[in-house]
Structures are given as C-alpha cells and as structure tokens.
Structure 1
Amino acid sequence: MTQTITPSRLRLPDPGLSSRLALSAGCTEGVRTSTADFFEWLAGRQQKHAQNVERIRFDELAQWGFDPETGDLRHDSGRFFSLHGLRVRSDFGPVAEWTQPIISQPEFGILGIAMREFDGVLHCLMQAKSEPGNINGVQLSPTVQATRSNYTRVHGGSAVPYLDAFRSAEPSRVLADVLQSEQGSWFHRKRNRNMVVEAGPWVEAGEDFCWLTLGQLHSLLRHESLINMDARTVLSCLPHWHTADTGGEPAAALHPDREIRSWLTGRRAEHEVVTERLPLNQVAGWHRSADALSHESGRYFSIVAVNVSSHSREVPAWSQPLLQPHGHGLAAMLVKRIDGVPHALMSARVEPGFVDVVELGPTVQWTPENYAHLPAAAQPPYLDLVLDNPAARIRFDTVLSEEGGRFRHAQSRYLIVETEDGDDVEETPDHRWMTERQLDELLRYSGQVNVQARTLVAALRTLR
C-alpha cells in the first residue's frame, strides 16, 4: 500500500528553478528509472490493470437515470457529473445558432504532479492509470488525477494516494498552481486545479507509480496515446526554463505584452456568445435510442453508456455515461522565427463552455467530419498550410488521447509545423504571433490558454 509520510516543516533552498527544470529536461535517462525499465514497468501495469468496458443500454446503468421531466442524465447522488442541453448563439465559426447536449461538472478536480530530486535531478512522479474511455487501457497520468467526488469518496471506494501532498502543500513547495479549463465544446464551464509540487524524501513511488525526468517525458510525448491529457496540461503549467532569463526578448516579440493582452480582451468583448441551459429532452435534432443519444445527421458525437470492471480503481465495478466523438480532431500550431525569436501563431477561440468567452487555441483546431456538409469557405484559416507541408517542416506529429474518464476513444492529431518566409501567414483578426515567453506568462493565469493549446505548448518545449 502506498503511503505518504507527513513531513516536518522544512524550508527549501532556492537554487534557481529554471536551471533545475532545464537540467531535468536535458536528462533523457532517469536516475531512478531507465527508459527501457519504464516500458517493462508499463507493460506490467497494462496487464495488471486491464479493464473490461462494455457498451450497455441506458436502462442498464446503475445509479444513473434520465430525469422524467427534463430528460437530463445524472447520478443518483447528485455528484460526479450530469448531462443537460445547451442552446448556443455565436458570431464565431460557420454556424450561428445550435443546440447540443453538454457535460456539467461544476466541482473542481485536482490534477497534480509531484517532483523530487534524485542525484540533483528533478523527477516527476507519474501514474499508470486506466480509464474506461481510453482506447488502449492504461496511460501515463499525473500523480493525482481526481475529481472532488472521487477524493471525498462519494463512490465509497478507497482513498486517493498522495492527495495530501497537494491539498496540504507548503507554499514554498508549490511550483505551479492554476485553474485551467477543459474542452469547451463538450464541458460546460469545467475547470481543474493544475498543480506541481516539489516533494521531499518522504514521498516514494508505489507500484503503480514511477519517477521520470522531464527529458524522458518529452520523449514519451511522441508516443501515440501514451501520456494522457491530464498529465499534458499539468506539464504545460510548469514555468518554462527557456524563457526565464531572456533579457531582451519582450522587446523582440512581434507584439508587446500589452498589445497581446489588449487584443485578447478585445476579442472577448467583441465576440458574441449567448448560452441558455435547456432540458436534455428539448435539444433539437438529437434523438435518444435504447443505447445512444445522437444527432440525426450522424455527426458530432453521441452519448453512450458503459459498464466497467477493474481491479485498479477506487471501486472495482461501476457503470457510467461517456461522450463518444465521431471522428478524430486536429490541433495544429504554426511556428516560425521572427527576428530570430521563436513565435507560435495562436487563435482567439470561442467555445460555448468557456467561462470567459474566448481562450487562446492552436492555429487550427477542428474535426473534419463536423465540417463535411459545409462549403469549403467554412474551413478554418491556415488549414492548407498546416496539412500540405513537407515532412522536414513538421516538428511534432502525434495522435494523442483526450480525457478518458468522460470521453470514449477520443483522439486528436497534434501537429507543430514550421513555416518559412515565403508562406502566406498574415494574421487575421482572430490570430496573433506570440513568443514562448508570452505563452508562458499567460499560462500562469486561469482561463487564458485552452486544453488543446496546452498540449501543444508541452510539445513545443520538447523541440530544443
């Protein structure tokens, strides 16, 4: 059984966090776990924690049901999450008004990575975790990945290991701590607390956990559906070691910080998004069968039900709804050097579930199947430039899974593409070139950078 020993109050030295993170990022073989040993360990975890996940009818869901008046789908306890309808009117994108189901989970979860030094090198404590929606079962997750309903044990299951290292962390040990959004097209105003905490020698790795350097994690990020979404978002919130002592970079940025802040504020003020909660049974164009709630066109996504049995979770068996997308997403970032300084082209993206209307997204974020019925003019800007590039200009290209606790087999292709001087990449009103330092600054605050862009920021840090 994994235990976290309560430490005495210790004061940490301050040797310079950026240099310590840089050292970890440059270490591609861990002091505690070699990469070969990691894959052997992961294979063992995959075998031990295999889940049996079966599609079932809605009337086979245990402790879940549709409200007889509204049709909303919720747990008997009133906790975890629920599904209701949403009417949306927006001036962003090719469709001005629509209705849809959406997941409501108002409670904050904790996504936390513990870091500890071994032989002077910082390591991250990562967990092999199975989720019912994962396409491949076990993926690498943060040290702690738990909703409030989970860690307060509404389900009656076992305690979450290492939770106290985050809930009771001394301020001097907290390296990152920020509320971040999740998918604003599928979640209604959902946010999680993303944390990185430096642990001391009292924190050891249990059998489902391993210590890995940032350099090892950067290498593993290129493996398909290996590092899960929750781990990627937490890693993006770490202070970026390449931008801590940049001297004149703010002056070298194409747009000064105040212009970026003003532009983002302006996009939030000028874009219109009006949302209205609806009963799920009043969502137009969506129809419920015995085992799925789907759009009449066959596009977008379906709500399905699954039965899960597992020996590796807080409870051994349960059933729940999952959102199953129709088609893979694409999230792509264009990058280039402007006056010698690396920049990324970011978009002001509107999604109905965002708390503050607009968050920064990748250059291109779309699901092709959702646009198939629309004219070519409805395709997002820069799409051809993203997709029609020689391999030599593609710096990162990996299919990664989205959150497996609420989504079934959700995957996106993540791309970073380097542009050249002759490419036609003029900014639009909703796109701006930003430096890595400017992105790093925005990631210190809640609700500035969306979850797809945070994955690409984590990927961008692997390129040096």
Structure 2
Amino acid sequence: MTETLSTLPPTHTGDESLAVRIAKSVSVVDDGALHSLDEFHDWFTARGQRTAHVERVPLDELTGWSSDPVTGNIGHDSGKFFSVQGLSVELPGAPVPAWAQPIINQPEIGILGILIKEFNGVLHCLMQAKLEPGNRNGLQLSPTVQATRSNYTRVHQGNPVPYVGYFQDTSANRVITDALQSEQGSWFYQKRNRNMVVETEAEIEQHEAFMWLTIGQLHRLLAIDDLINMDTRTVLSCLPFSGAQLAEQLPGTGGDLRMPILRSCSEDQGSLHTTGDLLSWITDARTRNEVRTRLTPLRDVAGWRRTPDAITHDTGRFFDVMAVRIETDGDREVRQWTQPMIAPAGIGIVAFLVKRIDGVLHVLAHARVEPGYLDVVELSPTVMCTPGNYEGLPAAARPPFLGEVLSARPEQVRFETILSEEGGRFYHAQNRYIIVESDIDVAPELASEYRWMALHQMVGLLRHSHYVNVQARSLIACLHSLSGAQGRN
C-alpha cells in the first residue's frame, strides 16, 4: 500500500522558537543542568525517608465522609472534594450495550501546573516529590502544583499549596499552555483539570520538597517504573513541542527514532491525513456514537455489591471502591485523613502502535467512547485495557490490536515501563505503557475508529480541551522522551 503525506503551510509559526527552546531542554540531561541525575536521586531518596502509613479500613470507618441513608452515595461532609455515585450507561450497538457502575463525581476543576524558568539558557521545570496515598511506592515526582479547588481554597483547613499563586494570577509571567483536560472516563464522571505551564523570570524561593530539572532529565526518569506521576505526564504532553523545520534546527544524534519523531513534531514534514480531515473524523465519531448516561443512587447499581470493606463487582473484575486511612509526616497540606478510593483489578496495558510513513513517525490513535467523557469521544492509545476484564465478555468486545502488542518482538518495543495513575483517587492503579513499532495497516472495517496521526497533530489538539485522553497524553510524553540526543534505541 502506497501512502502519501499531506503537507500544509505551518499554521502557528510564532511558536517555533519556543519549540526549539523546549527541544534544547529535552537534549540536556547532565551538562548544562542545575543538578545532575545523581544529585536528583540522592535528593529523591532522602525525601522518600519521610513516611506515609496507608491502611485499608472498612467503609463505615471513613471520618468526615458519610453514606447517604437514601441513595447510598458516599460524600464528604463539607459537600466539597468528590462523591462516589452510581452511573447508568447505554451504548446502543456496542458489544456491551448497557451497564451500571460506581463512578467518582468531582465537578470542581483542579490545577495541574508546572512552573518553568531558564537557568544557563536552558528551560528547567520546578518539580515536587509528593506522597500520594494510592501510590504503591508512596513518593513520586509531581508537577509544581497538583491541587483540587477544595485543596487550594483550603476547605480542609490545612497548609497553603506552595506556588499556586503563579497559576492563579499569571499577569506577571508567560503562559505557555493552559487547557482543560479530561481524566479517566471510565472512573470519573466528566472530570477535568486545568493543565498549565507558566514561565517566570522571577526569583523563586525553593522549598526543600522541590527541585529544578530539565525536560531531558524528566524524560530519562520516565523510563523508571512508578517515578513520574500521572499529573506530571499529562502536563508535559501539553508542552507545544512542535514547529516548522524543527528536525533541521535540531539534527543531533541519538536513537534511530529521534529523527522520525522530530519530523513528526514538524508540521512542514507532512502527515498521512490533514488536520482538517482528522477533525472531521473526530466530529463524525462524536455524532455517530450515541451514549446515554445518567447518575443514579449508588445503592441501586446492578451487578455490584457492598460489603463492610468494599463495593465490588459480582465477578470480582473491573475495580473496587474501598477506604483508606492515611498518616504522613511528609509535605502534605493535611497530615491525617481518611477517604474512599478506587482500586482496579490488575495491571492494565496502554500502548501506541507507531509507524514510519515516508520518514515521519505516526501513532495509531483510537476514537474511543467512555461513559465519563464530557464530549462522548476522545483520542486514546491504540490499545487501552486490562486484559482480565474481558473474560466472559463477547469476543467482539476484545480490543483490536491487543494481539499485536502482546506478541511484539523485542526489537519492536521502543518504550516500556510501568507507570501509576493518579494516586490521590486510585489505589495501586498501574499500567504498562508500551510503544510498539509496526508496519500494520488498518483494516477497512476499523477505519471509522482508528487513524494514523503525526505528533504535531496531537500536540495541536492538546492546545484545546477534550480531544486527547489522559492515557494518550502520558504516551505522548513517553514518545517525546525518545527524541532527546541521549535517547534510548
């Protein structure tokens, strides 16, 4: 099959210098950085000596939370933070056309923000070593600010959130990116956070729980299991790392995917489909898929049962709603609390198939329907599932391309690591993030759901809200990590 790339004149040429500055930071790992990676690991290990004791407790032992006697919904006594409710879903024509489930309803919008600043001509990101109750390993690297509205308005009467003012009032600084982005559409009901990157030239008083790191250093750390948290990954993906002639301006050396990725980030290098065609495809998917959702009382969710310890599916698959008690001596706004959490069943797989088309790397994106999305469909990775959840379901429900990912030869696997999902709501939620190079073609019967896309097209959509889901954003950050001069082969 012959594939011809479409090329159009650049549409946002004012960002090329910023893209080059970002790419320069991507290429700096030790020389030119404020701190070496050895210094980072020493600091991070020292921060990890601060403890967090997390234990599962019965649902009835939640303090400051209560179950509504009529609906069974679990909510905070303040009416803030979030609640756990039921959701009824109808998806006509799907392999599973209807179901009910518990879901987290958190209508308030939080801030996920990274503050950046130049040191020695290189952009650095102010990162936080943060304990989250759901992290299997406790401490992970988070953005400068990771806070719900209830947190930064101090509903819990705890300590102020450090540096949040840079994201609430940006008038004295430069906003690099600012967009509302969704979170997990299978566990959250229409949840969104404000993803922000703000550049400052001000002198910053640095807290001991924070460290300045280059983007290249963050990319290196992405290869380590459970170190870079989900909120950092989603904000990193929103950096406008695209621009005309990016590949020519930063030729460099490194892994053999580096140049195909840089070409993919350069909109003048072309793409299999025009951005206009892709927008039409997404709109068609949103129009074609009829999804009916309705929040319901938690006690009425069919197929789920409540025990003293958890709300669980009758099959034991999918996830549990459980409760934890947390005590920490770390740098949290509050040192002791209890809360409900979602605990998924098993480690999931999140994978992009990638393909070089005329020297330009493309990712195979899926127009995916999830019940919690605000706008029906968002672009997801090629494969996104927990394989064990499909036992007992119709064969048609098994994700396409899962076999290609699971059977990939070692030389096809260009990136693989285990990364955690958001540890503030999810308990030990981990996925294998995988990038597999393939020459596969999309079968005609799947063409309405899957498209090959260049990275600059993904980055362009991330300037806007509700186009690219949180798992795809994590994988975009992982793909960008392969573009540095010190990249992995």
Judged with a 3 Å threshold, the aligned counterparts in structure 2 of structure 1 residues 251 and 299 are, in CA distance, closer, same or farther, namely same
SS in 1 for 2:24: helix
Equivalent residue, structure 1, for 2:39: 37
Equivalent residue, structure 2, for 1:6: none
Equivalent residue, structure 2, for 1:388: 407
Equivalent residue, structure 2, for 1:302: 320
Deviation (angstroms), 1:248: 8.3
C-alpha contact 2:175 2:196 (8 A) present in aligned 1:
yes
Separation (CA, whole Å) in 2 of partners of 1:47 and 1:156: 26
Pair 1:53-2:50 in alignment: no
Equivalent residue, structure 2, for 1:329: 348
Pair 1:340-2:359 in alignment: yes
Deviation (angstroms), 1:202: 1.5
Q: TM-score, normalised by structure 2?
A: 0.89
Of the structure 1 ranges 223-232 and 234-243, higher mean CA displacement relative to structure 2 is found in 234-243
Per-residue CA deviations over 1:6-35 (Å, capped at 9, x if unaligned) read: xxxxxxxx9921121111000011521110
Equivalent residue, structure 2, for 1:8: none
Q: How do 1:234-249 residues align onto structure 2 when only pairs under 5 Å count?
A: 234-241=235-242, 245=246, 249=267
Deviation (angstroms), 1:341: 1.6
Q: How do 1:407-426 residues align onto structure 2 when only pairs under 5 Å count?
A: 407-420=426-439, 423-426=440-443
Equivalent residue, structure 2, for 1:104: 105
Give the letter for the 1:117 counterpart.
Answer: E
Give the letter for the 1:297 counterpart.
Answer: T
Pair 1:314-2:333 in alignment: yes
C-alpha contact 2:245 2:268 (8 A) present in aligned 1:
no
Judged with a 3 Å threshold, the aligned counterparts in structure 2 of structure 1 residues 226 and 271 are, in CA distance, closer, same or farther, namely same
Equivalent residue, structure 2, for 1:224: 225
Judged with a 3 Å threshold, the aligned counterparts in structure 2 of structure 1 residues 165 and 276 are, in CA distance, closer, same or farther, namely same
Separation (CA, whole Å) in 1 of partners of 2:431 and 2:241: 24
Equivalent residue, structure 1, for 2:89: 88
Deviation (angstroms), 1:46: 0.7
Give the letter for the 2:62 counterpart.
Answer: L
Separation (CA, whole Å) in 2 of partners of 1:212 and 1:84: 40
Give the letter for the 1:25 counterpart.
Answer: V
Q: How do 1:4-15 residues align onto structure 2 when only pairs under 5 Å count?
A: none
Separation (CA, whole Å) in 2 of partners of 1:79 and 1:159: 17
Judged with a 3 Å threshold, the aligned counterparts in structure 2 of structure 1 residues 243 and 129 are, in CA distance, closer, same or farther, namely farther
Equivalent residue, structure 2, for 1:151: 152
Pair 1:292-2:293 in alignment: no
SS in 1 for 2:232: helix
Separation (CA, whole Å) in 2 of partners of 1:122 and 1:177: 18
SS in 2 for 1:261: helix
SS in 2 for 1:447: coil
Equivalent residue, structure 2, for 1:176: 177
SS in 1 for 2:459: helix
Separation (CA, whole Å) in 2 of partners of 1:329 and 1:92: 25
Give the letter for the 2:372 counterpart.
Answer: G
Give the letter for the 2:153 counterpart.
Answer: T
Equivalent residue, structure 2, for 1:4: none
C-alpha contact 2:266 2:456 (8 A) present in aligned 1:
no
Pair 1:17-2:18 in alignment: yes
SS in 2 for 1:373: coil
Give the letter for the 2:482 counterpart.
Answer: L
Deviation (angstroms), 1:249: 4.3
Separation (CA, whole Å) in 1 of partners of 2:111 and 2:204: 18
Judged with a 3 Å threshold, the aligned counterparts in structure 2 of structure 1 residues 225 and 248 are, in CA distance, closer, same or farther, namely closer
Separation (CA, whole Å) in 2 of partners of 1:23 and 1:361: 28
Of residues 372, 389, 394 in structure 2, which corresponds to 1:353? Answer: 372
Percent identity among equivalent residues? 55
Of the structure 1 ranges 221-230 and 310-319, higher mean CA displacement relative to structure 2 is found in 310-319
C-alpha contact 2:417 2:433 (8 A) present in aligned 1:
yes
Judged with a 3 Å threshold, the aligned counterparts in structure 2 of structure 1 residues 28 and 459 are, in CA distance, closer, same or farther, namely same
Separation (CA, whole Å) in 1 of partners of 2:97 and 2:43: 50
Judged with a 3 Å threshold, the aligned counterparts in structure 2 of structure 1 residues 87 and 352 are, in CA distance, closer, same or farther, namely same
Deviation (angstroms), 1:375: 4.1
Equivalent residue, structure 1, for 2:254: none
SS in 2 for 1:303: strand
Separation (CA, whole Å) in 2 of partners of 1:147 and 1:406: 11
Per-residue CA deviations over 1:52-107 (Å, capped at 9, x if unaligned) read: 00111112111101000110000000000001101001147531100000000000
Equivalent residue, structure 2, for 1:9: none
Pair 1:463-2:479 in alignment: no
Judged with a 3 Å threshold, the aligned counterparts in structure 2 of structure 1 residues 93 and 370 are, in CA distance, closer, same or farther, namely farther
Per-residue CA deviations over 1:359-382 (Å, capped at 9, x if unaligned) read: 000011111111011244431111
SS in 2 for 1:336: strand
Deviation (angstroms), 1:172: 5.5
Structure 1 gap segments, 5+ residues each: 1-13
C-alpha contact 1:250 1:256 (8 A) present in aligned 2:
no
Separation (CA, whole Å) in 1 of partners of 2:275 and 2:26: 27
Of the structure 1 ranges 166-175 and 210-219, higher mean CA displacement relative to structure 2 is found in 166-175
Equivalent residue, structure 2, for 1:119: 120
C-alpha contact 2:343 2:427 (8 A) present in aligned 1:
yes
Equivalent residue, structure 1, for 2:130: 129
SS in 1 for 2:49: helix
Equivalent residue, structure 1, for 2:283: 265
C-alpha contact 2:348 2:430 (8 A) present in aligned 1:
yes
Separation (CA, whole Å) in 2 of partners of 1:239 and 1:453: 16
Structure 2 gap segments, 5+ residues each: 1-14, 247-262, 484-489
| Segments ≥4 residues shifted beyond 2 Å | 91-94, 241-252, 374-378, 423-427
Give the letter for the 2:28 counterpart.
Answer: C
Separation (CA, whole Å) in 2 of partners of 1:355 and 1:377: 25
Give the letter for the 2:42 counterpart.
Answer: E
SS in 2 for 1:102: strand
Separation (CA, whole Å) in 1 of partners of 2:423 and 2:477: 19
Q: TM-score, normalised by structure 1?
A: 0.94
Judged with a 3 Å threshold, the aligned counterparts in structure 2 of structure 1 residues 225 and 352 are, in CA distance, closer, same or farther, namely same
SS in 2 for 1:403: coil
Separation (CA, whole Å) in 1 of partners of 2:205 and 2:287: 48
SS in 2 for 1:415: strand
Of the structure 1 ranges 274-283 and 336-345, higher mean CA displacement relative to structure 2 is found in 336-345
Aligned residues: 449
C-alpha contact 2:174 2:198 (8 A) present in aligned 1:
yes
